[in-house]
Amino acid sequence: MIVVGSGLAGASASATLAELGYKVKCFCYQDSPRRAHSIAAQGGINAAKNYQNDGDSVHRLFYDTIKGGDFRAREANVHRLAEISRNIIDQCVAQGVPFAREYSGYLTNRSFGGAQVSRTFYARGQTGQQLLLGAYQALSRQIGLGNVQMFPRTEFQDLVLVDGHAKGVIMRHVTTGELSRHSADAVILATGGYCPVFYLSTNAVGCNVTATYRAHKKGATFANPCYTQIHPTCIPVSGDHQSKLTLMSESLRNDGRVWVPKQKGDQRKPWDIPEAERDYFLERKYPSFGNLAPRDIASRAAKEACDAGLGVGPTGYGVFLDFADSIQRMGEHSVKEK
Ligand SMILES: Cc1cc2nc3c(=O)[nH]c(=O)nc-3n(C[C@H](O)[C@H](O)[C@H](O)COP(=O)(O)OP(=O)(O)OC[C@H]3O[C@@H](n4cnc5c(N)ncnc54)[C@H](O)[C@@H]3O)c2cc1C
């Protein structure tokens, strides 16, 4: 089997296939699988374990995910994801991922946007990094056993088709330029996202969709290229020195209240603006989800506020995320830590 990509998708696919007895060749363009962009994921991973006993179920996770994807995701795949979400957590724990736990030792959860239950498993604000280290360990074990051959610093150039089926790849070494060809019974592309097509994004400029595009040119189906997540806690662009945007953890959104001044061009400091002159627009528009409305809905509402001239900060592209209540509830230290 050929697996192009060794992020969370590619590393776990390679390790699992090898466990099943397949011989795998795995490729990535970074110098190590540990540098895949999955490392940037912060907030956590959803699973319908219902540990909080708050009415969660596979169907509810399925429904929330379909809704969070603006009803455009493929339902069969989302249902499968919801079904196996519980096993994924168990697999990650077995791989040594240090998910946050209650004082008693049980795995704990936090709330995420788009859900009215608490089902997100997390490792502080570095869940992706910890998951990637777990997947990398499983991959390394299979490399050590001789079941996976790892090819870092190689870039996918082309897909080789035999009778219309993907049976091989052409790769180029990124430092020597050497081309190589590899054949297999099947090819898995796990080459990640491509947000920089929108210029600035929270993905690195290397996440550039070339592998997917080259496969698409050879006939692979490619759906919904427009549907890239616009995250509501992305910190607004601050100058032309940036090649990448920074994301605040989703865990902060579930503790804060989002608002803008009711009056256009209000230059007062936020603490000088009285309650009656603030518009908590997510709580007003979406009373049942409030500040935890799905990400696309929350981002769209923030953009509408900015487009209406109510945005704050030097660029006018920001909205306030107010922690006054959570500081009262949890103390400044806990909020600062997040
Ligand atoms: C800032 C940020 C925060 C996030 N937070 C969360 C979160 O809290 N919860 C959540 O569920 N998701 C989150 N996500 C999304 C999540 O991180 C990604 O969807 C997921 O990690 C993608 O994994 P992947 O394995 O598909 O891709 P990647 O980790 O990007 O891996 C892609 C792999 O493909 C290889 N590759 C790419 N192109 C080529 C090529 N042409 N030739 C050879 N190899 C190639 C790369 O070398 C790499 O190994 C976040 C994303 C970002 C950017």
The alpha helices in 224-280, defined as continuous H runs, are 250-253
Ligand 1 centroid, distance to 38 Cα (angstroms): 4
85 phi, psi to nearest 5 deg: -55, -40
pLDDT of residue 70: 84
176 band by pLDDT with thresholds 50, 70 and 90: very high
For residue 290, report the distance from its CA to the centre of ligand 1, in Å. 29
Taking all residues of the chain, what is their mean pLDDT, rounded to a whole number?
Answer: 93
Mean pLDDT calculated for residue range 104-109: 95
pLDDT in tens, 269-312: 999 999 999 999 999 999 998 998 888 899 999 999 999 999 99
Q: How far apart are the C-alpha atoms of 37 and 247, rounded to whole Å?
A: 14
Q: Look at residue 254 in the predicted model and tell me its pLDDT.
A: 77
The residue length of the chain stands at 338
Strands (E), the chain: 2-4, 24-27, 45-46, 120-121, 148-151, 154-162, 165-173, 179-183, 187-189, 257-261, 278-279, 320-322
Is residue 123 in contact with ligand 1, taking CB distance under 6 Å?
Answer: no
Mean per-residue pLDDT for 145-155?
Answer: 98
* Reduced 3-state DSSP string for 103-118: CCCCECCECCCCCCCC
ipTM: 0.98
**Residue in 29, 131, 151 to alter for ligand 1 test, most ligand atoms within 8 A of Cβ:** 29
Q: What confidence tens digit (pLDDT) does each residue in 314-332 have?
A: 889 999 999 999 999 989 9
Ligand 1 centre distance from Cα of residue 41 (Å): 8
Q: Whose CA is nearest to atom 12 of ligand 1?
A: 41
- What domains can be seen in the chain, in order of their start residue? 2-195 (3.50.50.60), 250-337 (3.90.700)
Pocket test for ligand 1, best of 32, 35, 37, 169 (most atoms within 8 A of CB): 37
Tell whether the model's pLDDT for residue 226 goes beyond 80: no
Cβ of 69 below 6 Å from ligand 1: no
- Strand 24-27 versus strand 2-4 pairing type: parallel
Residue 338 has pLDDT above 80, yes or no: no
Instruction: Report whether pLDDT(220) > 90.
Output: yes
DSSP, res 90: H
CA 88, CA 12: separation in Å to the nearest integer? 10
Question: Is 181 among the residues known to form the active site?
Answer: no
| Residue ID of nearest Cα to ligand 1 atom 3 | 41
Triad 306, 248, 208: Cα angle to 5°: 85
With a 6 A CB cut-off, is 44 part of the ligand 1 pocket? Answer: yes
| Mean pLDDT score, 156-181 | 97
Catalytic site residue from 278, 295, 300, 329: 295
Q: Give distance in angstroms: CA of 287 to centre of ligand 1.
A: 33
| 37 CA to centre of ligand 1 in angstroms | 4
- Minimum CA distance residue for ligand 1 atom 2: 41
Confidence band, pLDDT 50/70/90 cuts, at residue 72: confident
Query: Quick check: 154 pLDDT over 80?
Result: yes
Indicate which atom in ligand 1 lies nearest the CA of residue 122.
8
